[in-house]
Structures are given as structure tokens and as C-alpha cells.
Amino acid sequence: MLRLRRYRYYVFFAAVVVFLLYRVTQNSGQWEAVSASIPYAKAIPKSPPEQGFGPTNKQSRPSKSGTSKYTDEDDDLAQQMLEKANKDDGKVKIPDLKPTTSEDALDKFDLPTSATKMNPSDETKVRVYDKEGAAKTTTAPLIDIPDKNVGQGAKGVGKGKGIHGAPGAHKSKTNSATTTIHWKKQPEHFPVPKDEIIPLPTGKSKSIPTVQYDFVKESPEAKEKRLDRLSKVKAEMVRGWKGYMTYAKGHDELSPVSKKFRDPFCGWAATLVDALDTLWIMGMKEEFEEALVEVEKIDFTTSEFRNEIPVFETTIRYLGGLVAAYDVSGGKAGGYDILIDKAVELAEILMGVFDTPNRMPILYYNWKPAFASQPKRAQGGSVAELGSLAMEFTRLAQITKEDKYYDAVARITDAFYEWQERGTTIPGIFPEHVDASGCNRTAEAEIAAKEAERIEQQQIEAQKASSNAAKSSKSDIEADDSLVKRAESEPHTLNRRFEVGTPNDDGTKKVKIVTNGEEMYAPVETTAPKNSRAKTSTTTEDGESSSSDSKPKEKEKDKCVPQGLTSGAWSTEQYSMGGSQDSTYEYFPKQWLLLGGLEPKYKTLHTKVAAAVKKWLLYRPMVPDDRDILFSAKINTRGNPEVDASTEWEVTHLTCFIGGMFGMAGKIFEVPEDVEIGKKLTDGCVWAYENTPSGIMPEGATVVPCAEANNCHWNETMYWQYLDPLYETHEQEIVDFEKQHKEWKAKKAQKAKMKGHQNLGVTAEETTFGKEGLDAVGIQKRAPPRRIGSDSSDTDADGRYVPDESTRAAKLGDKLDGSTGRDTSALSVNEEESQIPLKEEDDLDLPEPMRPMSHKEYVENRISSENLPKGFVSANYHAYILRPEAIESVWYMYRITGDTSWQDKGWKMWNAIVSQTRTEAGNSAIDNVLLAKSGKTDEMESFWLAETLKYFYLLYSDPNVISLDEWVLNTEAHPFKRPS
């Protein structure tokens, strides 16, 4: 009976287990959803379950009815198992097999309360963020959340599209419902009082000399030629725009080879915004209005690609692009208010970067509210990043009549002006790296050191006073008891010494105690630094104990010692007109134009820059055809350029803007010399294009400088010496080699003479012996021949050679060696010597000297292996990334001088660039301009459409299109309307 009852228990238990397993396997999708809803637990992706099934927050945990204890072994085992199952079910819920309503899903996902739409026929994987921001993946019906309504009349946001056409939509054809973090305007920590905001200069613009040449009517032939070139440039723009809109619409950049896209900025459609004014200028109005639909979708308050906004790039491309598009399309009269609305939206976000104690900008701005809400201080950056925000914010201030935008950048200009007046290592220009923190770190360190010294002195004096008082009160106690009692009664004195850690006379940090003339030292296990934050217990007035390492009750006082802009370099400072410095210098004369000449600081800044460039940086290169051209160098100095300056005779594409800058500034400030300098600088970059196999200038190269700018002729010898800086060493190495080789040949000949020499003078016919014969003549295999005049100890009484012990052992080994099958006891003397491996050892002892390269061979090898064009010393940066700076200056020279030869030079550049970079979908950067046919890197920067194609188009357009007397262009070629 007992067995039957137990069997019944087992069967019932098995049935329960099988039932539970069945429930689990039938609802695996719901188990996945439940596990996904647990914070920080990531679900394993699986195939989507049937529509309508999902987790619900309406499931309730089974209630506990009370607990029972089973002590009788005869109680029903099945009842125990059911109770256990109920308890387990309370811990892990089995999802109810019922549909999940949309309300359930919204409640579960904790989504924003904005209006949502749901298409019950669609499903997708959605990312759900809990309150702590932890991302989980779960399966739920598609929830189509409309884009945030930003800007005036945001429209055109279709179903299933994320922000601005869903950057990142390439990841999946379906869309994600996410809890998106948005930037929010924060209260300023360091606001500028309203009465201290720097206003835009007011009044009538000054009379500024004309910049553009007074063009006359062209001939029909010249016009036909110009219009033909113009149409080809526009066709390239049409093709590139189509490729972008087909394969990368809404994204930052097109990958023109793979026909994909990239988002190196914030995913705010950089190419589209950057190209807006180009579309308008080229008469592509339909494409322009199509682009505006995408502009309305951009949400500048969030980015799924970057946590930090690159302020410089965002300002010149996005803010500049929107403001310029507004200007060229007619401004207020044009009716495209969305452009200025989006510009203001972006500017309000960027204004947060100026909320610092000295109002210098944060150059990489973490836009998320958790970070944007915190106080910040500017740090280091480059000259270009810091000073190239002026034009964009100034023009926005002019359009909106909001002085705060101008104030933000005027303070940066004032800081540069003050620094230039205070003086830099090379007067007039600024080092590449700038410390914009506004705090003198050296002064702070000195103050901190003095403060620590003062506190230490106070502690020492207090310790001495306490020690003297203790000695006088304990003078009648015996020496042995004195040390113990003093240690017990004066713990605070010792503790103070521990904290101070003052060295004694012997250099130690032990506590010295003098008792009855004896010096004794209490050991110190640890010594805290002078400014230690070691835990020390204190007692407050209310009796509660606290610790010194706890959070301070009051905010620590800012110990910043104010200072202006200064060098951010640790040791060597770099000065140039190239990358990281260029556009700040470009903006000084352009900002003067934009303000109608009403702010004289910009003219002063440029005048001093131009003087420094002419004195320190400009040089004429030595080129094969003696072409009279100029480049701008780079200076490295440790603070005394007159003594320690080292110069890099660089030729960089980024520096090519300087020709246009000198030409334009020379016109508006009436310095004809600077216009001529601008021509030579521009022609230098044209030369760099014309003298490479691809017809395109490299990103960075070096050349040979002329000692005198007015007397410079090609010198092949000097050129080779620059290619081989160790040419003297190479020539000396050849001389040394020839000497060593001659000695080696002599030694080799002498060794060859000795190969057949026999010390004993015996012939082969006379030396065939038996086994004993070898011993009789004293010849031993592998033993050296008998030395003439050898010591008598080597011979016996009859004068015969007697081998030593090692020789005897060698002989015995040879006699026992039967591996060759020969009778080794009957060999000729010549045969014996041939067994001694002297020849190989001789060769190792006398290796033939290796011939070094001569100066000529080294140079020819460099030119061949590096594909160096004649005149170039190096071209280590041999890529071309579709840059505009060279054609930019060519355009300026044409518009300033009216010389059509600049159009011809530009056309050679155009043909070379297009033939090397064209792809089916656009144009791609290439990796080596020193090859006749280079590989493509599958990148099309936004400035290809925004700048390069625009400058080529304007070179062949009617000169009145974007006249330099009416417009001023920012560093991204965005035209701003000059005040009339």
C-alpha cells in the first residue's frame, strides 16, 4: 500500500512538471518580453511573435494565502508540490496569453506624452529606455512618433521616418520608437548683464574701396568659351546632388564609391545644409525647395551620432549655410523664413558654449541636459576653432537685431586684440594652440605653494609651543616613565607632527623627543602630504562626529587667477597660416567688411598679421623654371625665435586661402603690395597643381627655399642636398668603403696564398703510411702542424713531436670512427689538410664590406620610390580630399584683377580634379596625387558641393554673381550680404 501511494506521488509530480514545461515552450516569446522588461537585462533577439502578444502591466502576482508546515511524512506529496509551484509562480510570472492593447504598450514603455500614431499592421524591434536611460530591446507593435515640431511650420515629416529622414535608417528598414534625449535651454551660470552686452556697431558704413575689377563686355568667342565651362561645372553639381539625395539624403555625407553614407558630425544633413546657397546660385531652384523640406525635419536638439557638438564645424557649415541661404534667396523678401528660423534654433543651442566665467567658448559642447546644465570653463583649442565663429554670429545678429549673438563673438575678438597688444612670441600672430581657460595655472600653483608653506609653518610653531609646555610640566618625572606618560598625554602633538611630516635634522620624518639630553624618535608609519585630505575625525557643536573627507558644506572657493588668452603649448610653439590657424586670420578683414568698417579693431588685427607673415613666414621656393611664386612657411620656437626658430618650408593645401586673403585685404586697406603678394601666393598653389603626375596639389609637401627672393635660380646640386641632408656623410661613407674594400682584397689574397702551404714540406708521394706511420712522422689528423721553433716539451728525446693529451684523444676518436668506411690511417698530408675546415672560417673572419649608397644613388632612389616631382623635397601628405582653397584664391585673383589667365589656370585644375575623382554617384577623395591614377577613398566632404564647385562656378559665371563689392564669404564659401 505504501509503495502504491509513493508511485502515485511520482506520477502526479511528473504530470505537473510536464504541464509547466508545456506552458513555457508555448509562450517563449512572452518569456523573452518579460526578461526584457527587467532593468539592465538585455534580451536575446528572436523572430517576432504573432501580433498582439506582448507583456502587460496588468498582470498580477498570485496572492499568498498563508503558509503551512508539513511534518507528517504521510501527508500528501502532491499537495506539497502544488504549494511549491504556487510559490515559484509568485517569483517568475508566466505571461497571460492575451493581446496587448496600445494603451498597455504605451504605459509599459513610458513614452513621451506627445501624440502618437500606430499602424497595427506593422511590427518592429523598438528600443525602450527606462528612467535611468538603460536601453533594452523588446518586441512591440510599431509606434510612429512624429518628429518634434521645430522651426516655423515644420512639415513634410512622413510616416515611418525618424528625425530628418532618420539618420541611421540604413540600420533597418523599420523605424524605432525610442525615448530620445533632447537639449533644453538651461539657466546661465555666468550671464552677461543686459547693460554690458556689446551691441553691434551702428551708424553709416564707411566708404570702402572697391574689391572687384571693372569688367568690360566680353567678346562672343570668350563668352561662348566661358559658358561652356560654366555648364560643365553645373553638370557636375547636378550629378553630385542627385547622388547625395539618392543614397544619403538626410545624412551628413555621401560615400560616392559604395553609394552609402556617413554621419561624421551630428547627423544633421551636413551636405544638404552646406549646399543650399550653391543650389540657389546655380539656378537649381527646384532642388533648393526640395532641400528645404529636409531642412524643416532637422532637429538640432538631439543627435544619435554624437554626444558633443563640434562647435567650429557646426558654426561654419550649418549656421553659416542657413544664414547664407537666407541671404542669397532674398532674405525677408524671399519668403524662406524657415532658413532663419532654423538658424536661430541652432544658434540658441550654440549660445550655451559661451556660458563660462570668461565667456570664451567650449569648443566641444555636450548638449545633453545632464551635462549642459553644469557650470563649465573653456579649455585649450586651436586659433582657428576659437576665432572662426565671428562672421556667422555677427550676420545672424544683423538679421535678427539680437545683440547677444554679436556680444558672444565680440568678446573673443577683444581677447585676441588684447593678446596681440600684450605681445606674442612672434608679434602680430598667434601660436597654434591656445589656452582659453582664463586662469593662470602657474600663478595658481605659486599661490597654493605659498599657502601650504604658511599652514605648515603655523603647525610647526603650534607643535613647538605644545612640546615646550609639556616639557616644563613633566620635568620632575624620571626618564623611563616620561616617554610613556608623554606619549599618553600628548597624542595630539604627535598627530600634528604626523600630519605635518616635518623633516628632522637627520632628514627623517620621525617625531624627535628629547628627554634628559637623550634623543628618542617615535616611528611614523604614514605621513600625509601637506595638503592631505586624510580622514580626521572632528566633533561638531551638536556632538555629532564628522569626517574631513566628507562633502564640504560650502562650495570650494574658485582660486582662478584671471588672465587673457595665452599659449597652450607646453614647450614649442608653432606659427603658420595653415590648418588650425587659417580661418581666424581670414576673418579679420572679412569681419571688417561685414561691419561696414565700423569696428577698427579688425583692421588693426589684420595689419599686424600681414606684417608678421611678410617678415617671418613668406618665402620664395626654388623651382626648375625659376617661376616667381611664394609660399607661407611654419615656424617652431621655444620662445626666442631670433635664436631658436626652426622653419618648415611647407606647401599645404589649407594655406592656399592666403592668396585671396592678401589680395582682398590689399584692395580694401589700399595696400597694392599685398595684392601683388596675393598673386604670387596664388600662383604658387597653381604651380603645385601643375607639377604632379595627377595634376592635383598634395595635402602637404616641402620644397627648397631661396636665400634671396629677388635672386633665385634653379640649382640641381642644392636641390639634391635637400633631398639628402646627410649627403656629406654618404660621400665619406663611399671613401671609407673603397679603402676598406681594398684592404679586404689584400687580406683575402694573402689567405688564399696560405691555403696550400705545408709546414713540414712533405709531398703526397712520400706520405703514404700505415697506421703507425702517422705517429712516426708526428702528423695527427685535426691537429695543427708542428710549429717551427716550438717548445722542447712538445718533442721526445729523439726530437720527434709528442702530441699532448687533447691531440691524443682526437687521434683515438678518429681511429674509432668507421662511418665513412675508409681507412683513415693511410691519408696523404694534402688530404689531411683538406679535412680541416679552415677555408670556411677564413671567409667568416673576412666578410666582404657592404657598399653603402652614394649621394647620387640615395637621391635617385628617393625620387623614384616616392614619385617626387622635380622641385618637391617631400610629399608625405599626398592625398586630395576635394579641398577648395586653391581654386578659392584663383577666383579672388580673377575677380580682383580681371586677368582671364586665372580662368585658364582654373580650368586645368578642374580637368585634373574631375578626371581623378569622378564616380558614378559623385566625386571621391583620392589617396595619392603623386600617381597618374590614384585610388579613391570613398569620401565626399560636404565642402565639395558647398565650396569647391561653387568657386569653380563663380570663376566662369557673370562677374556680377556674388560680387565682392556686395558680398563677403565665410571660410565655408557661404556668402553674407554686406551692409550698403
**Sequence-ordered list of residues with C-beta below 8 angstroms from that of 744, at least 6 positions apart, any chain:** 846, 848, 849
Could you tell me if 718 and 622 are in contact, meaning their C-beta atoms sit under 8 angstroms apart?
yes
Q: State yes or no: pLDDT of 893 exceeds 60.
A: yes
370-382 residue pLDDT tens = 999 999 999 999 9
Which DSSP helix (H) or strand (E) runs through 703?
strand 700-703
Could you tell me if 436 and 360 are in contact, meaning their C-beta atoms sit under 8 angstroms apart?
yes
Mean pLDDT in residue range 316-337? 97
678-728 residue pLDDT tens = 999 999 999 999 999 999 999 999 999 999 999 999 999 999 999 999 988
Grid cell for residue 922: 559623385
Q: What is the pLDDT of residue 27?
A: 52
Long-range contact set of residues 122-128: C-beta below 8 Å, sequence gap at least 24: 122/160, 122/174, 123/48, 123/51, 124/172, 124/174, 124/175, 124/176, 125/45, 125/48, 125/172, 125/174, 125/176, 126/176, 126/177, 126/178, 127/176, 127/177, 127/178, 128/36, 128/177, 128/178, 128/179
Could you tell me if 885 and 654 are in contact, meaning their C-beta atoms sit under 8 angstroms apart?
yes
Give the Å distances, CA to CA, from 204 to 402, 596, 668. 19, 8, 17
Give the Å distances, CA to CA, from 137 to 112, 181, 737, 791. 18, 17, 72, 96
Could you tell me if 23 and 94 are in contact, meaning their C-beta atoms sit under 8 angstroms apart?
yes
- Report helix, strand or coil for 217: coil
Could you tell me if 678 and 893 are in contact, meaning their C-beta atoms sit under 8 angstroms apart?
yes
What is the C-alpha separation between 302 and 294, in angstroms, rounded? Answer: 16
Give the rounded distance of the alpha carbon of 649 from its chain centre: 25
Residue 125 gets which letter from DSSP? E
- Report helix, strand or coil for 634: strand
pLDDT higher at 52 or 973 = 973
Q: Calculate the average pLDDT of the chain.
A: 76
What is the C-alpha separation between 323 and 343, in angstroms, rounded? Answer: 6
Mean pLDDT in residue range 287-308? 97
Q: What is the pLDDT of residue 875?
A: 96
3-state secondary structure 335-395: CCHHHHHHHHHHHHHHHHHHCCCCCCCCCEEECCHHHHCCCCCCCEEEHHHHHCCHHHHHH
Residue 318 gets which letter from DSSP? I
Per-position b or e across 612-627, b if 16+ CB within 10 A of its CB = bbbebbbbbbbbeeeb
Q: State yes or no: pLDDT of 539 exceeds 90.
A: no
Q: State yes or no: pLDDT of 564 exceeds 90.
A: yes
What is the C-alpha separation between 98 and 104, in angstroms, rounded? Answer: 12
Q: Considering only the C-alpha atoms of the chain, give the largest distance between any 2 of them, rounded to a whole number of Å.
A: 131
pLDDT higher at 638 or 738 = 638
pLDDT higher at 813 or 341 = 341
Grid cell for residue 714: 634653379
Q: State yes or no: pLDDT of 784 exceeds 50.
A: no
Grid cell for residue 812: 683515438
636-647 residue pLDDT tens = 999 999 999 999
3-state secondary structure 841-893: HHHHHCCCCCCCCCHHHHHHHHHHHHCCCCCEEEEEECCECCCCHHHHHHHHH
Which DSSP helix (H) or strand (E) runs through 519?
strand 518-522
Q: Band of the pLDDT at 441, cuts 50, 70, 90?
A: confident
What is the C-alpha separation between 412 and 418, in angstroms, rounded? Answer: 10
Which range among 131-135, 286-290, 301-305, 834-838 shows the weakest confidence by mean pLDDT? 131-135
Q: Band of the pLDDT at 350, cuts 50, 70, 90?
A: very high
Find residue 574's DSSP bridge partners.
Answer: 636
Q: Does the pTM exceed 0.75?
A: no
> What size, in residues, is the chain?
980
Q: State yes or no: pLDDT of 330 exceeds 70.
A: yes
Mean pLDDT in residue range 45-62? 35
What is the C-alpha separation between 282 and 954, in angstroms, rounded? Answer: 9
Q: State yes or no: pLDDT of 862 exceeds 80.
A: yes
Work out whether strand 253-255 and strand 260-262 pair parallel, antiparallel, or are unpaired: antiparallel
Q: State yes or no: pLDDT of 896 exceeds 70.
A: yes
What is the C-alpha separation between 639 and 645, in angstroms, rounded? Answer: 8
Q: What is the pLDDT of residue 47?
A: 35
Residue 820 gets which letter from DSSP? T
Beta strands in 34-180 (DSSP E): 123-129, 135-141
Q: State yes or no: pLDDT of 182 exceeds 90.
A: yes
Which range among 286-295, 611-620, 797-806, 857-866 shows the weakest confidence by mean pLDDT? 797-806
What is the C-alpha separation between 859 and 26, in angstroms, rounded? Answer: 78
Mean pLDDT in residue range 541-551? 39
Q: Band of the pLDDT at 474, cuts 50, 70, 90?
A: low
What is the C-alpha separation between 361 and 378, in angstroms, rounded? Answer: 6
Percent helix, strand and coil across the chain, each to the nearest 5: 45, 10, 45
What is the C-alpha separation between 817 and 275, in angstroms, rounded? Answer: 91
Give the rounded distance of the alpha carbon of 743 from its chain centre: 55
What is the C-alpha separation between 284 and 274, in angstroms, rounded? Answer: 15
pLDDT higher at 851 or 686 = 686
pLDDT higher at 32 or 517 = 517
Beta strands in 171-275 (DSSP E): 253-255, 260-262
Q: What is the pLDDT of residue 238?
A: 98
